[in-house]
Structures are given as structure tokens and as C-alpha cells.
Structure 1
Amino acid sequence: AWRDESVHMRLAHALVKGITEHIEADTLEAYDNIGTALNVIEGPLMDGMNEVGDLFGSGKMFLPQVVKSARVMKKAVAVLLPYLEQEKSANNTSAGRILMATVKGDVHDIGKNIVSVVLQCNGFEIVDMGVMVPCENILKRAQEEKCDVIGLSGLITPSLDEMVHVASEMQRLDYNLPVMIGGATTSKTHTAVKIAPEYDNIVVHVNDASRAVNVATQIISKEYKIKFKTELDEEYAKKRAYFESRQQVRNLLTIEQARNNAPKIDWQNYQTYTPSFLGVREEHNYSLDKLQARIDWTPFFRAWELAGRYPAILEDEVVGAQASELFADAQTMLRKIISENWLEANAVYGFFRANSIADDIEIYANEHATELLGTSYQLRQQSATNKRTPNYCLSDFIAPKSTNINDYIGMFAVSCGSGVAEKVAEFEADHDDYSAILLKALADRLAEAYAEELHERVRQDLWGYQAEESLTNEDLIKEKYQGIRPAPGYPACPDHREKLTLWKILKPDARVDITLTESLAMNPAASVSGWYFSHPEARYFGTGKFSKDQMADYAVRRGEDVSDSERWLASNLGY
């Protein structure tokens, strides 16, 4: 068996297979044989990691396995650290030093952490600054650590603006470092159109971990860097030209025309449903056991860059074996999360009298609607579709004030993130990125499952407008039920500031410890919030692009300068 091989072979095998059992003993044995820690790292350990890199690069190995290999590598290096200190040559052999940070106001870091691990596997040194990092801290640290590249990550739309800010600051302060951009809302187009023009050096969008190594190698290399930049500039110039040409042909209705084409809902013959209570309720430490059956696993595999739908992905010819192994690890950890109470599921939700006035929704403090709790400002689709398709706005699904009908709206915030940070810190102290990333991904899935489970209780019982509903989990994932739960910052309601209305009324920060960052990301990251609409015609949609006249109208309704509206809705502007 492999345990009978030479220590060099055993180390390589452990790295490729991700086996941690014997790593400390084997590493020390290699140190005794070879004599210097540096030569152990540069010899057997790098041989193993190079093989991992080759397998990953050629598509024979997948991300979860790479992260497991990295765990073995980190544990081996940790054993050698005291000897490295004595040899004082820990920094001789790096492929380059890369600073990684999730930008100010953003708390999401699964993608960033995965990319960091893959880069480390390929010999890069990573300076990881974590989440919510202000621009000046990033730039200062990059100088202090003499970094070769800065990597910026973000998940929510306001983070895109923050990345533009970092690039323009680097230009102003005369930095000369390439920048890598990544994260869920980032794109090649946004990078080319908005970020790259701010900075004369390389700004490159990296859409997944497998590309990161190749890009980092080229932008650090003296011989490839210039060619890379020339090709990138050409590609991004084409992206910008295409983007500009699209901007001109966009066919938008005026806001007046769009409102005239709102869906026609027959309110006079509609019976609204009165919720079982009005006001706010909270629940603490909800049963995680009840939530696990509700998990939608497809996005979990996507987080690990494994493409396919669950459960079919487990049988997939290419990724099936890896997906099955990852799924088994996830099930094992899920059992521990539940039996050892690693996480806490908490929620706050409420129902309120509400009526719409054009595109806005007034939310009242009592049944008689004598006191206003807040106004939710909504946005309307303006694309000039054919006349048969209406131009939707969320306010369409709430009875207009002029009808004198008593209607209602619900709102919620749930989180399964309480306890994540402490547990992740334990894993990271043990050089175990794999378990840290796995836990964050599972916490995200549990939070979504909680939002789904609570929505079902709302439909069947708490609001009760679908008391007779019976759906399978498959049906639930496909949203085959009446009513919707749109979230601020998503396509039907792209302005993240609508969370401020939810927070003002529900107070999730005080009640269940879900706070908002300055960019209005929810913290902890494994949190979901939104509205409840009960009308049978309520549906999800994307608002798409807005014209200047809707933005001007929206700014007046919100009582702000139009530049503020434009800043928060930058990626939705059609002009």
C-alpha cells in the first residue's frame, strides 16, 4: 500500500488525495532525511502540489479536492514553520505575493477564499485581509507587504462602486500593481466599462478559481505582462464599444407609458386575506433539523464550481464522483452542525396593513391605517415589450389606496449565521480551509432553507392565504406556490436601500443580531430578508434598465438628489 512507499512518494500521494492522517509524521521524517525545511517544501511538497495544479488545470481534478490538498500542504508547512524560522529563508521561493480582500461594506468571502487556496497551491503567497476592508487599508497593506498583485472581491452591487473607487485611488496615488477583480456581481463588462478606465495598470476580471492561477502568473511575469496587457486592452476596448452600441439602441418607454401598461388587476372582485396577527414576531434557535430537508443543493455545488443540477449531478460522468464525495462530506458536517449546535437559526417577521400609491407602498402601524410606519419605494420595468406583456412593479400586487380595500404586506429577515465566525476561526487555526469553506456554504444553504420553510408557514398558517397547499420540496424549489418573497437588491427590487425600511420596522439588528454594513450587505452573510406578497398574480420579474425620467421621479419621491438614486442603481441605468 502507499504507506510502504518512500517518504517522498507518501507526501505526494497524501497531497494529491487530500489525506491529512499521517502528514505531521511524514513531514518530520522528510525533514530528518533532507535536512532543511526549505528543501522539504521545494522538493516533495511542491512536487505533490505541482501534480495537483496539473490535474486541476487539465480538468482531471475539481475544486473541492484542490482545497483538500491545500489543507494537507498547510498542515505540512505548519510543522516545518519553526525550522523555517531558524533557516530564515521562508520567502525565497514564492511565485509572487497577492493581497486578497473583500471590499468595504461587503461580508461575502467564499469565492475569495477558494481562489486564495488555489493560488497558494500554486506557490503564491497570499496576504488575506478578510472582509469589509476599506480602500486605504488595502493600499497601505499592499505597500507594507510589497505585494505583486491586489485581488478585490465582492458579492453585492454596491461593491462594484467600491472597486471603481479603489482603482481610481490607485491611479491618484500612482500605484503600479495589477488588480484582479472577482465575485458574484462582477463581470468582464463591468470591469471593462467602469473599473479599467480608472487605472492605467492592468485591471482584469477573473471569473473562476481555475483561471486565477494562469492570470496571476502572467500579470506578475516580466516577460508576459506587456503582451497580456496589450491583449487585455484590446479585449476590453471591444467590450466597451459593444456596451456603448447596446446603450444607444435600448428601447425604453417613458415612466408614464410604463405605468399606463401596468398589469390590470381586478381589485373590486378580489378578496384580500387578513393575516393571523399584525405586528412583529421573532423566533430564536429554530430547529436546524427541520431545515435540512428543505435545502436546495444545486447552488451549493455551484459555490464549489461544480456544474449541474442536484440530484443528477451525483451521477454526472465528469463531476459525479467529486460531487458525491463533497455531498458526503457536507452530510457529515450537517449532522455535526445539528447535533453539536454549531449554528443558531433566528428569524424576525411581521405583517402590516398596506396600500399602494402608484409605484410606492405605504405600510401602516394599525388596521385603520391612521399611522404610517414607512413607505417602500419601488421601481417599474420600462422595456418596450409587446403590448401584451405588462410593465411590472412590486406595488402592482398591493391594492391601491384609492380602492379603499384593506390590503396587507409581510416582511422577514432570517439568519443561520450565528456561530459561523467562531467555528470558522477554529478551522482556520487548524489550517483547515476546506471545513471553513464547507461550513460557510452550508450556513448559506440553511439560511435559504429557513426562508423557504418560514414562507411556507406564512402561506399556510401565519397569513393563511394558502391553507390547503401541499407541495413537494421539488415544487417549492421551483416556486409553484401562490405569493412571492422578493428581496431588496435582487432584480424585482434592485435598490438595496429598501432594506433600511425593513430594518426600521422589523429591527432585525436588535432582535436577532442581523446588521447592515454601509453598503447594506447583511451580516452575518448567511442571512436572507425580503417582503411577502400574497396576491395570486404576484410574480418575480427583473426591472431591467431605467430611463432618466424614472430616476428623476424616483428621486423626488424619495426626497433625495437624483445623483444619489443613480449611485445606488448604477448597474440599472439605461443611459
Structure 2
Amino acid sequence: AALFAIDLLFEKSYERKPIFISGTIVDRSGRTLSGQTGEAFVVSLSHVNPLCIGLNCALGATEMRPFIEAIGKSTSAFIICYPNAGLPNTFGEYDETPTVTSSNLKEFAMDGLVNIVGGCCGTTPGHIRAISEAVKQCQPRVPAADIYQDYMLLSGLEPFRIGPYTNFVNIGERCNVAGSRKFAKLIMSGNYEEALSIAKAQVEMGAQVLDINMDEGMLEGPTAMTRFCNLIGSEPDISRVPLCIDSSNFSVIEAGLKCCQGKCIVNSISLKEGEEEFLHRAATVKRYGAAVVVMAFDEEGQATDAERKVEICTRAYNLLVNKVGFNPNDIIFDPNILTIGTGMEEHNDFAIYFIRATRMIKETLPRARVSGGLSNLSFSFRGMEAIREAMHGAFLYQAIKDGMDMGIVNAGNLPVYDDIDKELLLLCENLIWNRDAEATEKLLTYAQNNVKGAKKVVQTDEWREGSVEERLEYALIKGIDKHVVEDVEECRGQVGRYTRPLHIIEGPLMNGMKVVGDLFGAGKMFLPQVIKSARVMKRAVGHLIPFMEKEREEMKALSGSTEDVDPYQGDVHDIGKNIVGVVLGCNNFRVIDMGVMVPCDKILREAVKQKADIIGLSGLITPSLEEMIYVAKEMERLGMTTPLLIGGATTSKTHTSVKIAPRYTSPVVHVLDASRSVVVCSQLLDEVMREEYFEELKEEYEDIRQEHYDSLKPSWISSSEGDVAGLQQRVDLPCQPWLLVSPDVSSYDEKAVWVCCLLLTDGSDRRYLSLSQARVKALHIDWLSAPTPVRPHFLGTRVFDRYDLNSLEEFIDWKPFFDVWQLRGKYPNRGYPKIFKDKTVGSEARRVFDEAQRLLHQMIDSGSLKGRGLVGFWPAQGDGDDIRLYQEDAPATRDAQPIATFHGLRQQLEKDSSSSEPYLCVSDFVAPLDSGVSDYIGVFAVGVFGAEEVSQHFQAQGDDYSSIMVKALADRLAEAFAEELHARVRKELWGYSTDEALQASDLHRIRYQGIRPAAGYPSQPDHTEKTTMWSLAGVQEKTESLAMLPAASVSGLYFSNPQATYFAVGKITKEQVEDYARRKEMSVEEVERWLAPVLGYDSEA
């Protein structure tokens, strides 16, 4: 109401001002006082485009964090946050000190969550001073440019997002005095409380939006609408879904809008009364913050053919978008589903016209939705419900394919397309598609002869004559729970087939649910049927659980480890979770069931409190997948190491491998079924087996990721079987690198690899942050609070001549060596030495390895190969995206002249809107000039000399095999040299990690502090940076393409900061190229030539 009034003032006489909105989450449930979630609160108020939105009061900063994060993911506005000084004590007083409050809010700022911070109850001037001091060096949050750009956002107490991949939306139709006799009778008699039960039943049966219509001549429409909407507001089970205020009287619509705290739909407005009235009503709807249904109706009347429907909708769309300023996502067109089968020839194509108009609207009016009143289609057959349901099912199946997004339907009576009698389906489709002039008569004849008896026979006789497995499947698909207990008991009696209750669940019951999932995914079944199926499943499992508990008691096992099993927020099911809980309980695990729709912070808080050994997340519906990713990210942020189990109908091993596991460094395991959970949990908690199991799991998931990325590439590209595989382990790539494999697979051109990789993943739909925005969202390290950077034991360079190559053998990573020979074992026999066990390539891998060992020792012992290396350290300071190196060991000033400058490139490709990840540049890992902190970086270069001569010797003898073997071994030795020298740097020469005690396998997995990136690789893709590095190091031999000689050489920089990580710069904009050219004092054309692989635009260079 306040925002409505403000908007009126702005429109009349007041100068328009920015709007700040702050709400209050009253407790850890995450709800406002009126019951809305934070995300629903944002959706409800987004129509005023606030400059800033956020939270204050009720909670301390720690408790408020998850809700601030959720709001930040839901809006492109700035975020304001002013919490209380913690939670009050027993006497209502606040004990949290300024230091604690400011520290918590500084963490918010460092993580990019907020723009404006302050304090509410319990905070004092001392708190505000501390907060101001704590955050003054922090960069404010940079809001994502587009949040849910292609989504229609609605809300009741909870948000409802309709996006490109949302299934058909059911708008429940039974709360309509014109369409439901029962509802009309209750409303007319004043029995509004009983009428609420119809609304509740619609929601329970799967209505995602609730249509409310009070258009009855004997009713005072506005009063009735107000009373019923207010009553709905007091029923959380109903008001959690958005409302659709439905009336032909605009005063009734306004009455309903005044009572809806969420963002609802108005049904409807049209051009029937002219453009001026249409614009007035549309502006009013927009001021209330609602979406709108527009009927295909204008001054000339209702459109019937497709072209007129589209003409009217196009005119309305342009008026709404260009004159009223409507968000296209908030526009729903109803092209009029008109009645067919009336006996009038001119009505025969009405269904075809609707579907054709729907297709044209979706193609020509971006982001608009299409809806329709389904019952109109079959009005000619009123009283023949079986015929009407079949017509609706057949019509929807095609209309949804052509773009129909939602419809006003009876949520409980939509048939499964495949279950419609084939003869009846053909008759219905002949009528819908006007394929038979006598379709109406034939359908009436069918109804008279078949419908009443057929339905009775199918329900009471036929399906009960099948096997028990067939009966259970049928019951699940149809949502019939009448006989499910007796059928389950029949299964229990078949001891030979089902020896345990769990086998019944994982056999016929799960098989039936898989069919339900397939039908739902194919659009042949709708959400209401799925919910009915879930109820049948729940009843069957509920009957079996006591028998499973009895098994547990008979085992007389002591309680063992603890596991949390949670469906995440956004999910509604608990069947599979209950099964897992019972199965684990029968195998010595103590299971804490936290219920359904559990928010992340509650899961993790309870897991810590209970000292849970494992956390399990279970999900049935798609939104759960994104929430699982969020849980994994939060566990990583909080430094947790508890294994995470992923399960549920929508989950998969591929999704877990590609989307969830990379977000959490501790074990993440996808569990296929309940029985597997016991084995997985046992292995994760076994002190001996755990590490080996985790390593095998990571290898398996890496295989799955590889296969997934391979499936995305063009058929004419083959994967690299060379050093790119090793490189990928060290770099968080935005895509899987591919390259064209030449006949000589032992070597490749670095530049060619990255050109191919990045061009293949180029896309015109990519979005970039401006350079200034990316710099604001850089990695911001609190250098004053962080440990002081360690000074190296010497400054300048140190040369290592005739390095002991025998000492390098244990540091060799043999996996890339086998990749050179295209020898790749299958899981679990991937990598060295497991590859020797592989049935296909194992024996050949052993033979090649043994020959490599003999040749390697021969070359080292004879002195044919020589190792030379160099390490240098210099004082360094960050300066924006550059790193300045100095001669003097003291905090540098801006006036001090550097002896060299390394120039960095910063990530600009826009990350996921929910991501808080920084936009990295290598300079972020070095203390900046104005920090007052002295820092250092290192340079190294290593090479294995003599390999070219030995290789040429073999080649001259026609022994290409040995020639390639020499090159491959020299490459492995050079990498091992770099690995071993880096370990010495960390422990001795620089000495910032003196207590490090890692095995070679740990080094290959980068489990150490610091990084050693090379110029020309993803963290700094500019090869010309090598000239600065080599000038400092005194490297002489290099080619025009800036490749080092000998070929078996490695060079790069050393960074010691604990937060330093490998990353890929990715594509960049011309703005950054021009800035980079200015800093390097090079022409833009020359820079574009060297950076061609990462240019996010077409250049002429």
C-alpha cells in the first residue's frame, strides 16, 4: 500500500526519488511477519524497481546471512543489511560487541553480499564506528545485470518462477462461482470457511496458481472477493501459491489486488473498451505489481481465427511494453480456447486456430506467455466428464508442444495421455484437428455406448487381473491406493522373489515410479497425477517400514555413526528419504531425519551440533538440484569436511559429477538407491578404506565429466591425449579443452591448442562485465589481517647446473606419458599404476612403461640428458592488474621505480547470477602498493638438455618409436623437475611452507600452498609476458613464437599466497585489450594478435 501511494505521488506532482526497501525476517524459519520467504518478499516488491532492498532487525548478522544471500540471488537491486547486535539475552538485552558485529558484516562485504550496512536493535555508536572501519576497504557488491531474465516471477508466501524449462502450469479452476456449483453454493450461503477447503484441495492436487472468481449477479463482487482473499491469507497451506484474480469487473479485480501480499495474476483485461481504458487498467495492474492476462478481444469483438488473435495480441503487447512499461515476462495472452463440436461448421477449426496462434505468439512476442481456459473446449459435451477429460488431455498434449505455458484446469482431473482409450483418443483428435466431418456425432455415439460401463470395468476388473507387479505399477500411475497394501502383502508372501521388504521397494514400486517419471518428462502426465502417485508410494512404503524396523531389531545392532538425511529447501518429498533412513538404521547407523523443505543453514547447523559423520540430501523435483549445489558451496565456504551424499529421483551421477562435486573438496557421492547407501556410508567411515575410496570416486567422476564434455563437442574434433589432460587437472577451465591431434602426438603447439579450445566454446550469447565492474568484483584479500607474507631466504637469482636427474624420478606424473601413447584404462583402472590392471590396455601399458624405464635410466646414467634450472625472487607489489617488481626489500611507494612489471588480464565473462566467485587476475594474489605490506614473487625456468640429439639419433636410424619415447620422457622429466623444484622452493628456498609433508601424488593434485602459472596458459594467456620473465631470469634461448629451447622446458612465476589458485581468464572484451595495450605500451593490433585465442569479439589482427 505504501509503495502504491508513493507511485501515485510520483505520477502526480512529486519528483521521482530512489526507493529503499527493508524487510524483517522474524526468526530462523526465514519468513517475514506475514509468512513470506525473503525471495517471495523480493518478487512481491520488484515492480517498483527499488534502488536498494534488504533486511533489518530481529536477527543478528550470523543468523541473517543465509537470508541476505537468498535475497541477493533474487534481485539486481543493491542490498542493504542492518542486523541487530546478535540475539537478545534472557533479559532482552544485547551482548554482542562492536568487534563481533563489525567482523560479521565485514565477512558479508568481503564475500560480495552487501552494498549498505549498518546496525539495528542493540547497536550503539561504537558498533557503527567499528562497522564503518571494518568495511571501508571492502568493495561493494556488484549486482548481476539480469536476474531471471527469461522468467515470469510470481509469489504467494513462496516464490514461483516460470522459466524456459518449466513444465505446464496448472491454474486451479474450482474456486469459481461460475464454474463450480459446489463452490458457488458455499459462497452464496456465506459459508466461506467451508469454501476454503475447495481452495486447499486444489493446491493439494497440484494447482500451482489458484484462480478466484466471484462473478455472480447475486453477489456483491468486490466484497466477496475481499473476504475470500483475506481468509486465504490466513491459511498458509493455500496462500503459499500465487493467486489469479479473475473477473470481468475491474472493480472486483482491484478489490482482490488490495488483499494479495504476493505477486499475483490479473485475469483479465482486453482492448474491448478501447485503447484508453486498456492503458488505464494496465497501468493500474502494473502499479499493484501483478502480471496480467490479455484476452484476444478488441473493439471489433472476439478474435476467432489465428491471424486475428495474433494481430490483437501483438497490438496489446506493443502498448503494454512501449507505453505502460510492462515487463514482457509479466504478460500472458489468452488467444481464446473456443468451443468445438457444436454442430456448426464454422466452429470446427477453433482448436487449430488456438494452437496456431499460440505458436505464432511464442515466435513473435518475446518472453510473453500463453494461457487458456481449457473447459471451454469441451463445453458442448457438458455432463459427459469422461469425454471432456479425454478431449482436454489430447488437446493439451499438442498445445503444450506448441508453446502453451499454463491453463485454467481442474487440477485433479487431467488424464494421462497414454491412458486414454485408443478409440476415444482417435475420435477426440479427429474432432480437435477437424479431420472428420462427422467427428462430433461419432464421439456422441461412443459416449452413449461405452463411457459409463468402460470406466467401471477398467477400474474394478481388468487391471486387477494382472500380476502383482503389474497391479502395483498401474496403481502408481493411476494414483489408486485402494488395493496397494494387499498387493504389497502379496509381494511379501513371495519369499523366494522378495526376501526383504527393501526388495519390494527397489523392485516393483520403484519400477512403477520410473514409469511415472518418464510420463511426466514426456508431457503425457501432469503434476497432479505425480502427487497422487507419490501418495500411493508413500502408503506402500509406510506399510513396509515396520517390517524393515523389525529387521533392524532382530539384528540387535548398536547405534553407530550419525547421518543427516534431508530433502533440501525447494523440495516436497520424503518417500525416498524415509527408505534410506530405515535401511541405514537397519545397518547400525543412527539417522537424524530433518524433514522436508529444510533450508541450508539449518541443515549445516544441525550437522555440526550433532557431529554428523555424513550429510545426505534427497530431491524429487528440479529446483532441488540448484539447492544441492548451494549446500556444497556453503560447506566448502565453512571449511567443512563431512562427506555429502546426493540422492533422489531428479539427481544423477552426471549432474553430481559435473555440477556438485567440483564445488566441494571433500567427498560428494551420488547414491543410486537405498541399498547402495549402506555400502557407501560404510566405505566413507572406514579409516582404512576411506582415502582409497575417495580417490577412486574422484577418478570415476573425472571420467564422467570427461565423457560429458566430450559429448558436447563437434564430431570432427578429437580429445587431446597429450599434456592438455595434465594441464586440465591444474586449471579450473570454463570448458573442456579439445585440439586437433596431429600425426606426431608427442607434441603440439600451445597456441593452437588454446585457439581451438576457445573458438569452439565461443558463443554470441555470452555476457561480459565491464572492466571496471570486474575490478570491483576482484578477489579482495584482507592483507592487514592475513598472515604476513614470508620473505624468501635470498633475493635475486640462483642457478642449478647439472641437476641430479635421478632425484626427479619419484616426481614424474606418468598419466600424461600414457596419454601420449593413447593408452587409457577404464575406471577404476585409470592412471598410474592402476592402468596395469586394465583388461584392454594393461599389458601394453606395462610393456611401454618397462621400456621407458630402461631407456630413461640408460640416458641418465650415460649423461645424455642434463638438467639445468634457475630460481629468482624479488620484492613485489600489486598495482591494479599489474605486478611491480623492485630491487629494494621494503614496502614500495608509488614513486619507487620498478625493475620490471608483469601485466595481468582479468576475467570478464559474467558468472552465474547466484555465484559470489571473484573475477580473478594474477595480481590479486600479491599485496597491493597501498596496503603497507611487503610481498614477493618468484620466477623459475627448468629444462632437460640433450633429448633432441638422442631423438634425432634414433630417427636417423628409422626408429620413430624410440624417437617419440625420448621426447615423451624428456617432457615428463621437465615437468617433474618443475614439481620437485617447486617443493624445494616452498620448504627451503622461499620457506613459506616449511612443514609441508606431501607425497608425489599429492603434488600432482596440487594439495600444496601457492601456484606456479606459466605465461601463455589460462591464468595469463599472453605469451609476450615471457620476455619480462626471461629477462629477469637471464634465459637466452627462445624462438620467434616465444617457445623455449630445448623443447623439454618449463618456466613460470611463483606465488605464495594461500588464496592463490589456478584459473582461466577466458574471453575478454576490446575495452580490456585497449587498456592492456596501453599498460604494455604496445599497439592494440599487436596485442590482439597475441591474444587472439581469448578475444571475445572479432578483430582484424
Name the TM-score class by shorter chain.
0.5 to 0.7
1:451 is the counterpart of 2:941 = no
What is the aligned counterpart of 2:836 among 289, 308, 314? 314
8 Å contact kept, 1:113–1:437: no
1:260 is the counterpart of 2:788 = no
8 Å contact kept, 1:155–1:186: no
Q: What secondary structure is seen at the aligned counterpart in 2 of 1:443?
A: helix
> Structure 1's 525 and 316: CA in aligned 2 closer, same or farther, altered over 3 A?
same
Q: What do the CA deviations read for 1:117-151 (whole angstroms, capped 9, x no partner)?
A: xxxxxxxxxxxxxxxxxxxxxxxxxxxxxxxxxxx
User: Structure 2: how far apart are the matches of 1:186 and 1:381?
Assistant: 17
What is the aligned counterpart of 2:749 among 155, 159, 184? 155
User: Structure 2: how far apart are the matches of 1:373 and 1:504?
Assistant: 11
1:297 is the counterpart of 2:824 = no
8 Å contact kept, 1:155–1:185: no
> Structure 1's 188 and 469: CA in aligned 2 closer, same or farther, altered over 3 A?
closer
Matched with 2:799 is: 282
8 Å contact kept, 2:987–2:996: yes
User: Structure 2: how far apart are the matches of 1:353 and 1:376?
Assistant: 13
User: Structure 1: how far apart are the matches of 2:985 and 2:958?
Assistant: 42
Q: What do the CA deviations read for 1:28-57 (whole angstroms, capped 9, x no partner)?
A: xxxxxxxxxxxxxxxxxxxxxxxxxxxxxx
Q: What do the CA deviations read for 1:293-346 (whole angstroms, capped 9, x no partner)?
A: 110000011111222422222211211111111111111111112211111000
What is the aligned counterpart of 2:1062 among 540, 553, 557? 540
User: Structure 2: how far apart are the matches of 1:426 and 1:336?
Assistant: 15
8 Å contact kept, 1:154–1:186: no
Matched with 1:484 is: 1011
8 Å contact kept, 2:797–2:870: yes
Q: What's the CA shift for 1:189?
A: 8.5
1:28-107 maps to which residues of 2 (within 5 A)? none
1:424 is the counterpart of 2:951 = yes
User: Structure 2: how far apart are the matches of 1:188 and 1:351?
Assistant: 33
User: Structure 2: how far apart are the matches of 1:383 and 1:186?
Assistant: 17
RMSD after superposition: 2.1
What letter corresponds to residue 444 of structure 1 in structure 2? Answer: D
User: Structure 1: how far apart are the matches of 2:938 and 2:966?
Assistant: 30
What is the aligned counterpart of 1:376 among 896, 902, 907? 902
8 Å contact kept, 1:285–1:344: yes
Q: What secondary structure is seen at the aligned counterpart in 1 of 2:799?
A: strand
Q: What secondary structure is seen at the aligned counterpart in 1 of 2:1002?
A: helix
User: Structure 2: how far apart are the matches of 1:503 and 1:327?
Assistant: 35
Matched with 1:402 is: 930
Matched with 1:569 is: 1091
What letter corresponds to residue 792 of structure 2 in structure 1? Answer: P
Matched with 2:295 is: none
Matched with 1:504 is: 1031
8 Å contact kept, 2:811–2:979: yes
What is the aligned counterpart of 1:553 among 1044, 1051, 1075? 1075
8 Å contact kept, 2:1010–2:1058: yes
Q: What secondary structure is seen at the aligned counterpart in 2 of 1:248?
A: coil
> Structure 1's 188 and 351: CA in aligned 2 closer, same or farther, altered over 3 A?
closer
Matched with 1:412 is: 940
Bigger radius of gyration: 2
Q: What do the CA deviations read for 1:389-443 (whole angstroms, capped 9, x no partner)?
A: 1101100000000112111000100001x11122122212221111111011000
Matched with 2:857 is: 335
Q: What's the CA shift for 1:461?
A: 0.8
8 Å contact kept, 2:1019–2:1063: yes
8 Å contact kept, 1:412–1:529: yes
1:356 is the counterpart of 2:878 = yes
User: Structure 2: how far apart are the matches of 1:380 and 1:189?
Assistant: 16
8 Å contact kept, 2:755–2:1093: no
User: Structure 2: how far apart are the matches of 1:473 and 1:188?
Assistant: 29
User: Structure 2: how far apart are the matches of 1:260 and 1:342?
Assistant: 53
User: Structure 2: how far apart are the matches of 1:188 and 1:470?
Assistant: 36
User: Structure 2: how far apart are the matches of 1:185 and 1:406?
Assistant: 35
What letter corresponds to residue 266 of structure 1 in structure 2? Answer: D
Q: What's the CA shift for 1:481?
A: 0.3
Return 5+ residue gaps in structure 2 as ranges. 1-720, 722-740, 826-830
> Structure 1's 188 and 507: CA in aligned 2 closer, same or farther, altered over 3 A?
closer
What letter corresponds to residue 791 of structure 2 in structure 1? Answer: T
User: Structure 1: how far apart are the matches of 2:745 and 2:790?
Assistant: 48
TM-score (norm 2): 0.31
User: Structure 2: how far apart are the matches of 1:498 and 1:353?
Assistant: 18
> Structure 1's 318 and 482: CA in aligned 2 closer, same or farther, altered over 3 A?
same
User: Structure 2: how far apart are the matches of 1:456 and 1:545?
Assistant: 32
Percent identity between the two aligned chains: 46
8 Å contact kept, 1:300–1:442: yes
8 Å contact kept, 1:277–1:351: yes
Q: What's the CA shift for 1:489?
A: 0.7
What is the aligned counterpart of 1:474 among 1001, 1019, 1039? 1001
8 Å contact kept, 2:886–2:897: yes
Q: What secondary structure is seen at the aligned counterpart in 2 of 1:351?
A: strand
What letter corresponds to residue 345 of structure 1 in structure 2? Answer: G
> Structure 1's 438 and 395: CA in aligned 2 closer, same or farther, altered over 3 A?
same
1:117-196 maps to which residues of 2 (within 5 A)? 154-157=748-751, 160=752, 184-185=753-754, 187=756
Q: What's the CA shift for 1:113?
A: 6.1
Q: What's the CA shift for 1:247?
A: 3.0
1:529 is the counterpart of 2:529 = no
Q: What's the CA shift for 1:186?
A: 6.5
1:367 is the counterpart of 2:889 = yes
8 Å contact kept, 1:285–1:345: yes
8 Å contact kept, 1:365–1:371: no
8 Å contact kept, 1:414–1:529: yes
Q: What secondary structure is seen at the aligned counterpart in 1 of 2:763?
A: helix
User: How many residue pairs end up in the alignment?
Assistant: 347
TM-score (norm 1): 0.58
What letter corresponds to residue 433 of structure 1 in structure 2? Answer: D
Matched with 1:213 is: none
Return 5+ residue gaps in structure 1 as ranges. 1-62, 64-110, 117-152, 161-183, 191-238, 510-514
Matched with 1:181 is: none
> Structure 1's 372 and 421: CA in aligned 2 closer, same or farther, altered over 3 A?
same
User: Structure 1: how far apart are the matches of 2:773 and 2:955?
Assistant: 55
Matched with 1:272 is: 789
Q: What secondary structure is seen at the aligned counterpart in 1 of 2:811?
A: coil
> Structure 1's 446 and 154: CA in aligned 2 closer, same or farther, altered over 3 A?
closer
Q: What secondary structure is seen at the aligned counterpart in 2 of 1:489?
A: coil
Q: What do the CA deviations read for 1:345-380 (whole angstroms, capped 9, x no partner)?
A: 000110000001010000112214554221000001
